């Protein structure tokens, strides 16, 4: 509040155009340019009344009466007689709205100032727009603000935020070296430091500079070592190291890094899925099958993960376990056949993006309910979950929550809701909410279309896998007829039982019961049936 008070002192009533008049008892005839608009030709009494209202609005703002000041400034901003003062009025109105936590409405005021290209207030408005856009998390506003901001004009307190957002935009535009430079300018004391390190590591990976990426992720993990093993920034760094090692094709190092991700973090299951690929590339078939046992546990039955079943069947093909392979392929068809059908039907029957958004909205309210109570969804639950967890959709859903908070703030305040400012604000918020829902719906529609194509491709792979399985079975039968004995070698037999015992694993027969604390500790002890 102190900073705002000082700023408003600098913007005194005397700074308004046509307002630099000394107190005098003499009547002053207003001078009007011949080229001035007709709207400027107002009676002196009316002109003086507007000046008094401006002065009063500033006094209200300086005394902390932000709502009263905002209501009055909103009305004055629409007066054609004050068009020369519009930039200043709009800017101060934006400041009042931020004090009322109406950031979306404030953002529109700052955008109007920027578009007016008033040399005195444009830079100030850009700075404030960048701040409120960051608070809202609205990508459109962030892009608009960052495209106009000059980092050198931004106060030190907001410079890290601006640099981070610029880095994000550079990343989206695939200008990775420039993104690295932007993220590197953010110091260790900034609240954006962890995010900047992670994005910097990703930029290095995009440039295939894996060693530099690993160093960045190690720095990030080290900086969070006191935050606890489940700290999300620390876990994200560990996952970044694992992905960098995988990109380097160092399969053993990648597996070791994936194993560092704690099981009680929400990213663990994602790490487990990626770890199977590293194990498969390293020909560690028994280990890979052990991980599949965890991935396909009932705890994760809602996960959309068709690729893992295909991959599991291929591993069984490698070790000639045809019966197990057939079970997995049948499970794929049982699980994803209905998904493919429901997705196709929905895409055929619904075109409006808001219909797709409504399913995502339903998922949010149903996600914690038992399976039998989720019948309200018209699309498969796992599809809605997959879409809802996309980064762009999560950001949009969070933005909707902020919009909803602002709407409730206005609706719960009758003295604001009934004013012109209140009606204008509700109209803006409803429009922004509707447009964001449409955007989410369009993303959902595209994702479902991609899923339909993807599942079609996977079904073709299932058919090809069955063909390979039948061909392999045929060769096996031929060898048995010829009297060729097949050795019973264990999969991944270069690892002894002692190795696993020494690393904390316990051996006991699996009886079909899954326990959450055992997920990730299963060990496949099957034997290869291949010659």
With cut-offs at 50, 70 and 90, classify the pLDDT of residue 290: confident
Q: How far is CA 443 from CA 15, 47, 452, in A?
A: 48, 52, 14
Q: What is the CA radius of gyration of the chain?
A: 31
Say whether pLDDT at 515 is over 80: no
pLDDT digit string, tens, across residues 402-435: 999 999 999 999 999 999 999 999 999 999 999 9
> What is the location of CATH 1.25.40 in the chain?
1-14+44-154
pLDDT at 495: 55
Q: How far is CA 430 from CA 44, 137, 402, 407, 510, in A?
A: 40, 17, 12, 8, 55
- Closest C-alpha to 448, from 363, 364, 380, 352: 380
Helices first, then strands: H and E counts in the chain: 23, 0
For residue 93, give both structure tokens.
């109105």
Strands (E), 168-324: none
Q: How far is CA 203 from CA 142, 163, 175, 212, 456, in A?
A: 20, 15, 9, 10, 33
pLDDT at 25: 39
Q: Across residues 42-52, what is the average pLDDT?
A: 66
With cut-offs at 50, 70 and 90, classify the pLDDT of residue 457: very high
Say whether pLDDT at 140 is over 90: no
Q: How many Å apart are CA 261 and CA 265, to the nearest integer?
A: 8
pLDDT at 496: 56
pLDDT at 177: 96
φ and ψ at residue 44, rounded to 5 degrees: -55, -40
Range with the poorest average pLDDT among 274-283, 398-407, 470-479: 470-479
pLDDT digit string, tens, across residues 438-450: 999 999 999 999 9
- Kindly compute the dihedral angle of the four CA atoms of residues 124, 125, 127, 133, in this order, to the nearest 10 degrees: 170
Say whether pLDDT at 518 is over 70: no
Task: Round the average pLDDT of the chain to a whole number and report it.
Answer: 82
Q: How many Å apart are CA 154 and CA 393, to the nearest integer?
A: 30
pLDDT at 8: 41
Say whether pLDDT at 360 is over 90: yes
For residue 429, give both structure tokens.
């918020």
For residue 220, give both structure tokens.
């990030």
Q: What is the CATH number of domain 1-14+44-154?
A: 1.25.40
For residue 528, give both structure tokens.
């290869």
pLDDT digit string, tens, across residues 19-42: 333 333 333 333 333 333 333 444
Q: Across residues 109-117, what is the average pLDDT?
A: 90
3-class secondary-structure state, position 527? strand
Percent over 90 (pLDDT), the chain? 48
Q: How many Å apart are CA 508 and CA 530, to the nearest integer?
A: 26
pLDDT at 9: 36
pTM, rounded to two decimals: 0.78
Q: How far is CA 482 from CA 142, 176, 380, 460, in A?
A: 72, 61, 50, 33
Asked if 85 contacts 54 with a C-beta cutoff of 8 angstroms, the reply is: yes
Q: How many Å apart are CA 223 and CA 193, to the nearest integer?
A: 10
Q: How many Å apart are CA 500 and CA 428, to the nearest integer?
A: 61
pLDDT at 39: 37
Q: Across residues 349-357, what is the average pLDDT?
A: 96
Q: How far is CA 467 from CA 236, 308, 312, 322, 471, in A?
A: 40, 19, 16, 12, 6
> Does 222 or 486 have the greater pLDDT score?
222
């Amino acid at each position: 509040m102190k900073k705002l008070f000082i700023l408003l002192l600098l913007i005194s009533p005397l700074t308004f155009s046509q307002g630099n008049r000394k107190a005098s008892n003499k009547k002053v005839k207003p001078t009007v340019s011949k080229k001035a608009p007709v709207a400027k030709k107002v009676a002196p009494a009316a002109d003086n009344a507007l000046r008094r209202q401006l002065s009063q609005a500033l006094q209200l703002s300086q005394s902390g009466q932000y709502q009263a000041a905002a209501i009055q400034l909103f009305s004055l901003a629409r007066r054609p007689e004050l068009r020369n003062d519009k930039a200043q009025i709009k800017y101060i109105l934006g400041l009042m709205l931020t004090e009322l936590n109406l950031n979306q409405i404030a953002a529109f005021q700052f955008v109007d100032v920027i578009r007016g290209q008033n040399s005195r207030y444009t830079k100030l408005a850009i700075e404030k727009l960048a701040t409120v856009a960051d608070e809202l998390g609205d990508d459109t506003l962030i892009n608009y603000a960052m495209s106009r901001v000059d980092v050198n004009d931004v106060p030190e307190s907001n410079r890290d935020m601006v640099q981070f957002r610029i880095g994000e935009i550079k990343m989206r535009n695939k200008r990775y070296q420039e993104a690295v430079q932007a993220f590197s300018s953010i110091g260790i004391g900034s609240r954006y430091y962890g995010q900047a390190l992670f994005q910097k590591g990703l930029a290095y990976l995009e440039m295939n500079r894996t060693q530099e990426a690993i160093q960045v992720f190690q720095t990030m993990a080290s900086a969070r070592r006191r935050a606890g093993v489940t700290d999300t920034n620390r876990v994200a760094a560990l996952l970044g190291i694992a992905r960098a090692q995988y990109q380097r094709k160092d399969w053993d190092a990648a597996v070791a890094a994936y194993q560092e991700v704690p099981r009680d973090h929400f990213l663990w299951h994602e790490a487990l899925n990626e770890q199977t690929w590293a194990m498969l590339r390293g020909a560690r078939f028994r280990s890979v099958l052990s991980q599949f046992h965890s991935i396909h546990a009932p705890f994760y039955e809602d996960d959309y993960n068709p690729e893992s079943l295909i991959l599991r069947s291929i591993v069984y093909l490698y070790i000639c376990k045809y019966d197990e392979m057939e079970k997995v392929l049948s499970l794929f068809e049982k699980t994803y056949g209905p998904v493919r059908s429901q997705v196709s039907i929905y895409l055929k029957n619904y075109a409006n993006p808001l219909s797709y958004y409504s399913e995502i909205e339903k998922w949010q309210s149903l996600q914690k309910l038992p399976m039998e109570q989720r019948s309200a969804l018209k699309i498969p639950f796992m599809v809605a979950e997959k879409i809802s967890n996309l980064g762009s959709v999560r950001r949009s859903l969070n933005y909707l929550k902020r919009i909803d908070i602002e709407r409730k703030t206005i609706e719960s305040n009758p003295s604001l809701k009934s004013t012109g400012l209140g009606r204008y604000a509700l109209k803006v918020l409803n429009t922004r909410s509707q447009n964001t829902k449409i955007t989410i719906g369009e993303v959902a529609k595209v994702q479902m279309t991609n899923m339909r194509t993807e599942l079609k491709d996977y079904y073709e792979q299932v058919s090809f896998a069955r063909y390979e399985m039948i061909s392999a079975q045929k060769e096996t039968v031929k060898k048995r007829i010829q009297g060729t004995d097949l050795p019973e070698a264990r999969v991944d037999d270069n690892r002894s039982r002692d190795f696993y015992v020494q690393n904390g694993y316990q051996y006991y027969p699996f009886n079909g019961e899954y326990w959450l604390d055992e997920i990730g500790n299963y060990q496949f002890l099957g034997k290869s049936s291949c010659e």
